[in-house]
Amino acid sequence: MTIQAVFNVAEICAQHGITDVVLSPGSRSAPLTLAFARHPALTVRVVPDERAAAFIGLGIAQAQRRAVALVCTSGTAGLNYAPAVAEAFFQHIPLVIFTADRPPEWIDQLDGQTIRQRNLYGAHAKGEFEFPVDTSHADAKWHSARIVNEAINLAQAAPAGPVQVNVPLREPFYPKAGEEVGYEKDVKIIQTLQDACFPATQELKSLVSEFNAAPRVLLVFGQQPRQPWHDEFELSAQNDRDNYVAVADIISNVNQQNEGCYSIINLHDVFLAGATATLKEALQPALLITCGQSLISKSLKQFLRRFPAAQHWHIQPAGPVADTFGQLTKIIRADPSEFIPELLKKVQHTEAQPLELRNQRSNFRQSWAASEIAAYKLLRKEVYSFEHVPFNEFSIFGLLLHWVQQETALHLANSMAVRYANILSLPQGEERNIEVFANRGTSGIDGCNSTAVGAALAQPNRPVVLLTGDVAFFYDRNAFWHNYPTPNLRVVLFNNHGGGIFRIIDGPRQQPELDEFFETRQTLTAENTARDFGLRYFPVSSFEELEAALPVFFAPDGGAAILEVMTDSRTNAAFFEQYRAAVKQAFA
């Protein structure tokens, strides 16, 4: 093949608006490496560990909200991308993955670093393309450019996701002595203009009519990035709060902004965990409207499955739609940012409603609001009474949510970190414009550090805070193995020296094998990791030490740091069990 066609790959990416490339070194990928590294419009970062590299790329794509290119060599290198590829697939994050490969005649011939790379990610990629082996003919060169255009367009088309371009490469991999290879500015560019979809006028009228007739309307927001329309919705929810109830997980980035208003429910994970059947009947919707992706709250999912709405509308512009609660009745092909504001403008306002309907909706909202108020009071009494509680990770987690600065990108690791955050929620009545991220597409622990590092690299002027447990942290230590500064990154590590979640969830905590086979005790601390990668290090094991460390740790000009909170797993489990008992008593 000619190297010119490979160099054109980088030019096509740049002309499509891709600005960032994450590359892991290798020999077979040398032509791709040279093409991307020499391009003046591309920022190329080298991360040796392909698993970490892919999650860092995912974090950059999340933060910038545009596609990122990944480049790796042949063999198992591409397989190490798989966890991040699956996460990107389920979170609808665009990644364009260039996997260098051996020519096809050498596959299965016991040649080094050779595996079966075609369709490497299977059902977890939106598509897969095979780059021509020989591009010396004009048609083959046209074909190679067309493939790259199609891959980028597919990755970015709604719903966005990862796409693989497998690139078989023959030697020589490098330009010959004296050979100059540049970028052809007239490369073939194919752009896709996205169709705007929205219900037709008559369909919208019908939906408004059905909304107006429903006595109990519940809006549920799943995982989605923070968007400008959320501000408008949060304000409108306060003014028209008797018309519907809105429930939002922390990863939905829809928050209650005024303390005491309770127009948006964020503490549902507290009261639904202990609610009686009578209370749940009062909370049961007639019309359920959802948007976004996954929900963290198991209690909310179980509630909506056992006490289903007569109608469930899901708003999603394109792609397969999950029937999460088993009661889906309508798929509305629209962008929620356009459809929800337009729907709420057209529905009948409270004062114009029949008295019976108005009372039904008011009672519905009061049931949710009273539960939210009770949950708020319970948390203040049971979790935040620091002078009366032991040093435990649940209470400390709540304290740290109050410390997160304005405009922060808050990353939540999987396992207990994201669960604690969803129970406690962000503090009410504080407009801090915090955006929350979590790898809830697959809910794995394998790239939590790396995703946060990617966000810190993508937006160096924005504070990035990662709250994580010890198993997730140590599993992904190679996230810090690169040569790029992240002075805006703060990592809070809750180290209970094992998989503490297994002491809290039913099933493993009742088994005699808990200590060895589930919790998997370990004695590591982050001190060596911090020293190896030049991060400030703050170990704390008491409220007094924590109070002294927090101002220095969060100081904006201090530089990247790890705050390691040492707690006892048994104390954490006992305290959380005490909290759960209080919830059951409060909502009995």
| Three-state SS annotation for 470-521 | HHHHHHCHHHHCCCCCCCCEEEEEEECCCCHHHHCCCCHHHCCCHHHHHHCC
576 and 454 housed in the same domain: yes
What's the pLDDT score for residue 515? 61
Report the CATH number that the domain containing residue 446 is assigned in CATH: 3.40.50.970
Q: What pLDDT digit, counting tens, does each position of 213-259 carry?
A: 999 999 999 999 998 888 888 877 776 667 899 999 999 999 876 66
For the ranges 161-175, 187-201, 328-342, which has the lowest average pLDDT? 187-201
What domain range is 409 assigned to? 383-586
273 and 215 housed in the same domain: yes
220 and 239 housed in the same domain: yes
188: in domain: no
Please report, rounded to a whole number, the percentage of residues in the chain having pLDDT higher than 90: 74
Query: Using an 8 Å Cβ cutoff, are 2 and 182 in contact?
Result: no
75: in domain: yes
393 and 368 housed in the same domain: no
Q: Which of 346, 374, 402 is a domain's end point?
A: 374
Q: Which of 336, 355, 374 is a domain's end point?
A: 374
| Mean local confidence (pLDDT), 488-511 | 77
pLDDT band at 136 (very low <50, low <70, confident <90, very high): confident
387 and 370 housed in the same domain: no
Phi-psi region of 249 (alpha: psi -120 to 50; beta: other; left: phi over 0): beta
Give long-range contacts, CB 8 A cutoff, 24+ apart: 423-427.
423/267, 423/269, 423/270, 424/379, 424/383, 424/397, 424/398, 425/250, 425/255, 425/256, 425/266, 425/267, 425/401, 426/250, 426/255, 426/266, 426/401, 427/401, 427/402
Of the chain, the end-to-end C-alpha distance in Å amounts to: 72
132 and 267 housed in the same domain: no
pLDDT band at 508 (very low <50, low <70, confident <90, very high): low
140: in domain: yes
438: in domain: yes
Look up tokens 């949510």; give the residue: 401
143 and 289 housed in the same domain: no
Asked if the model's pLDDT at residue 1 lies above 60, the reply is: no
Query: Using an 8 Å Cβ cutoff, are 102 and 111 in contact?
Result: yes
Q: What pLDDT digit, counting tens, does each position of 422-474 carry?
A: 999 998 766 678 999 999 999 999 999 999 999 999 999 999 999 999 999 99
- How many domains, the chain? 3
290 and 399 housed in the same domain: no
Query: Using an 8 Å Cβ cutoff, are 8 and 144 in contact?
Result: yes
Report the CATH number that the domain containing residue 264 is assigned in CATH: 3.40.50.1220
441 and 575 housed in the same domain: yes
| 156 to 20, 41, 99, 443: CA distances (angstroms) | 15, 20, 19, 23
Measured CA to CA, the distance from residue 565 to residue 365 in angstroms comes to 39
What's the pLDDT score for residue 258? 64
